[in-house]
Amino acid sequence: MVCPSWPLTPYEDTRIRSTSIPKYRSLGWFGVAACTRKPLLLKSLGHLLPTDAHIEIRKAPFSWALEAEYSQAARIGDIVFTAGQGGFGDDGELVSGGFLDQTRQALRNVDAALRSHGADLSSVVKMTVYVPNQADYELFKQVRREFLDAPWPASTAVSAQLLVPGMLIEIDAVAAVGAKRTLVD
């Protein structure tokens, strides 16, 4: 997440630069992280939502979801947000075969979560990919081409230790129901 919103107003720029407590930490070309400001997402999407909007969450298709306090996806208006999806099969176990197979399964899981709310991979606006090894991002892009077509959604790659031992990738996405990505000049 890039935060605070860009471009900064002169007041915000001065306030952030002059404080002794850092408001954000630069990660170079990866962007900005560790922001202390509240996300502006709902404020910035507010004009897209009806005034009586409600958040729709469907029951996840696996038995452990309720106990783990896990929702696979949520929809508000025509926007669908997925939770992080790993390379887990229908049995709840990580698929065997390594990074490429886990990536394929994670993308299938993202697609299933989106479809449960009326969207799919072709309507993804933003995708975040978490990998423990930065070099694996190039392999992710190779597999992504099997599931998505250009133009590519806005993407963020994060090198991170994942929650489940043996998990090699986690992907979350934001999609717009009924929309398709289009390249414009």
What is the C-alpha separation between 112 and 74, in angstroms, rounded?
A: 13
According to DSSP, the β-strands at 170-176 and 124-131 are: antiparallel
Among 121, 147, 40, 80, which Cα is nearest to 72's?
80
Residue carrying structure tokens 């783990």: 68
Confidence band, pLDDT 50/70/90 cuts, at residue 11: very low
Domain boundaries, the chain: 1-39, 48-176
* Nearby residues of 32 by Cβ (< 8 Å), 6 or more positions away: 1, 2, 3, 24, 25, 26
pLDDT at 18 (0 to 100) = 40
CA–CA gap between residue 22 and residue 29 (Å, rounded): 19
Separation of alpha carbons 87 and 102, rounded Å: 4
pLDDT for 66 = 74
Q: What is residue 46's predicted lDDT score, i.e. its pLDDT?
A: 59
Which one, of 174, 180, 155, 181, lies nearest residue 79 by Cα?
174
Alpha-carbon dihedral angle through residues 159, 160, 162, 163, given to the nearest 10 degrees: -160
Mean pLDDT of 139-161: 96
Question: Residue 23: pLDDT band by 50, 70, 90 thresholds?
Answer: very low
Report if pTM > 0.75.
no
CB of 169 within 8 A of CB of 129?
yes
Task: Determine the pLDDT at residue 61.
Answer: 72
Range from 3-7, 26-30, 70-74, 100-104 that averages highest in pLDDT: 100-104
CATH architecture of 48-176: 2-Layer Sandwich (3.30)
Task: Fill in the amino acid letter for 121.
Answer: L
Q: What share of the chain has pLDDT > 70, as a percent?
A: 71
Higher pLDDT, 169 or 5: 169
Model confidence pLDDT, tens digit, residues 103-116: 999 999 999 999 99
Share above pLDDT 90 across residues of the chain, in percent, rounded to a whole number:
59
